[in-house]
Structure 1
C-alpha cells in the first residue's frame, strides 16, 4: 500500500517496492505522477521509475535534498571551463583569456592559485598580454578575496563602476530538473534561429567560437507561435552543469519560459552525471535573479572586474 498520494506530486519521496523476482528495493526521488495503477518517481539523475501500486511495500515523503556547501575555490576554476575563451595562456596558475573583446569573462585574467611570480610581476604580465591584443587589461576577482585586495594595492580599480556585482549562484540538480511546462528542444549544436533568439542585435563574429568551445555543450530552445522565443546554453564540467545565455523574447516574458529552459538543460545533464549546477546573473537583474532563486539557486560568491 502506498503511503503517498497526489498531494505529494512534485516533492521528494522514498518508495520501497518489489521487483519481478520478489526482492524489495528502494527508489528515492521526486514524485512525478500518481495514478490508479502506477506512480512515477524521477531520480536525481533524471531517470524516471514507473512502479505498479500493487508492488509498493511502503512509501513516504522525505525532506528536500539539503544543499551542500560549495567549494568556492573549485567553483571559481570550474566557471572558466564551462565557457572557455578562444585564446588562453597561463602565468603560473593564473589563466589569461582573450576572445576579441566579447564578454568580460572571455577577456580577463582569472587569478586563481599561485602565479609563480611576485604579484606585481604577474600583474604586469597580464597587463602586457591584453595590451598586445589591443584589449583593456581586466581581472575577474571575487569580492572580498585576497586577490582583489592585491590588485587594488597595485593600482587596479573598478573597470565598470556603474554596474552591480555579478552573482554566481548554485544549487543541486535535483532542485531544477522538474518536468518543464513547455516542450524544450535540446541540441548539441545551435542553429541560426537559436543565435537570433539569443542576441538582441547582430551576433558577434567570435560568439560561436566561445559558445561552442566547451567539450560537452547543449543548446536549449522553446518554440511558440512558429518562432523560437526562449533559449539557453548548458555545458558540463565534471558533475557541474553551467547554464548561461538564457534569454526570452520580450513579448513572451513572465510565462515561465526561462524556468522551462533551466529544467530542460538540467534533465539533459542528469543522465550525463550532472549533480550540481551554477549560473551567473548581475545583481541589478532582479527579474532573472528572482526566477533563479525560485527554483533553488543560492549565492556562492560574487565578482567584479578590475582594470589598470
Structure 2
C-alpha cells in the first residue's frame, strides 16, 4: 500500500514492492512519476524503476540524501583533470598548465601536493615556465589554503582584484538527474553550432583543444526555433561529473534551459558510474548561483588567481 501521491513527485522515497516471483524488494530514489497505476522512481545512477501500484506493499517519502563531506584536496585536483590544458608540466606534484593564454584555469599553476623542493625554488621554475611562453605567471589557489598563505608570504598578490571569488560547488547526482523539460542532445564531439552558441563571436583557436581534451567528455545542446540556444559541457573523472561552458542565448534565458542542460549531463554521467558533480561559478553571477543552488549544489571551496607580476 502506498502512502505516496502525485504531490510527492520530486521528493526522495522508498518503495517496497513484490517482484514477479513473489519476493519483495526495495527501491530508493526520487519519485519522478505517479499516474495510470504506476510509480516511477529515479535512482542515483539515473535508472528509472517503474513499479505497478498493485505490487506496492509500502511506500513513503524519506529525507533528502545529505551531501557527504567533500575531500577538498581531491576535488581540487579533479577539476584540473576534467578540463586538461594543452600543455602540462610538473614541479614535484605541482601542476603547470599552458594553453596559449586562453582561460585562467588552462594557463596557471595548480599548487596541490608537494613541490618536492623549497616553495621559493618551485615558484622560480613556475615563473620561468610561463615567461618562456609569453604568459603572465599565475597560480590558482584555494582561499585560506596553506599554498595561498605561502605564496602570499613570498610576494605573490591577487592577479584580478577587480573580479569576485570563484566558487567550486558540488552535489550528488540524485539531486540533479531529473528528466529535463526540454529535449537535450548529448554528443561526444561538439559541432560548429555548439561552438557558435558557446561563444560570443569566433572561439579562440585553442578552444577545441582545451574543450575536447578530456578522455571522457560530453557536449549538450538544446535547439529551439531552428537554432542551438543553450549548451554545456560535461566530463567524467572517476565518479565525478564536471560541468562547465554552460551558456544560454540571452533571448532564451530564464526559461530553465541551463537546468535542462545540467540534468541531461547528470543523466549521461550516471550511466557511466557518475555519483557526484562539481562546477565553478563566479560569485557575482547571481542568476547562475541561484540556478545551481536550486539544483542542490553547495560550496566546496573558493579560489582566486595570484601572480608575482601584477598589472598596473
**Please, what TM-score do these two structures have when normalized by structure 1?**
0.99
TM alignment of 1:133-282, pairs within 5 A: 133-282=133-282
In the other structure, the counterpart of 1:284 is 284
Aligned-partner Cα distance in 1 for 2:247–2:272: 24
TM alignment of 1:21-32, pairs within 5 A: 21-32=21-32
Ranges of 4+ aligned residues in structure 1 off by more than 2 Å: none
Shift of 1:36: 2.9
In the other structure, the counterpart of 2:13 is 13
Aligned-partner Cα distance in 2 for 1:32–1:155: 54
Aligned-partner Cα distance in 2 for 1:136–1:229: 34
SS at match of 1:197: helix
In the other structure, the counterpart of 2:79 is 79
SS at match of 2:16: strand
Aligned-partner Cα distance in 2 for 1:135–1:249: 31
Aligned-partner Cα distance in 2 for 1:27–1:188: 31
In the other structure, the counterpart of 2:129 is 129
Aligned-partner Cα distance in 1 for 2:262–2:109: 28
Aligned-partner Cα distance in 2 for 1:134–1:95: 18
Shift of 1:3: 1.9
Aligned-partner Cα distance in 1 for 2:282–2:205: 24
SS at match of 2:229: strand
Aligned-partner Cα distance in 2 for 1:161–1:38: 55
Is structure 2 residue 75 aligned with structure 1 residue 70? Answer: no
Runs (5+) with no aligned partner, structure 2 = none
For residues 112-163 of structure 1, the C-alpha deviation after alignment (integer angstroms, 9 at most, x for no partner) is 0100010100000000000111111000001111111111111111111111
SS at match of 2:96: strand
Shift of 1:217: 0.3
In the other structure, the counterpart of 2:97 is 97
For residues 19-68 of structure 1, the C-alpha deviation after alignment (integer angstroms, 9 at most, x for no partner) is 11111110001111111321111101000011111111111111111111
Aligned-partner Cα distance in 2 for 1:213–1:49: 35
SS at match of 1:183: coil
Runs (5+) with no aligned partner, structure 1 = none
Number of residue-to-residue matches in the alignment: 308
**Please, what TM-score do these two structures have when normalized by structure 2?**
0.98
Aligned-partner Cα distance in 2 for 1:85–1:9: 42
Aligned-partner Cα distance in 2 for 1:36–1:246: 36
Aligned-partner Cα distance in 2 for 1:95–1:238: 19
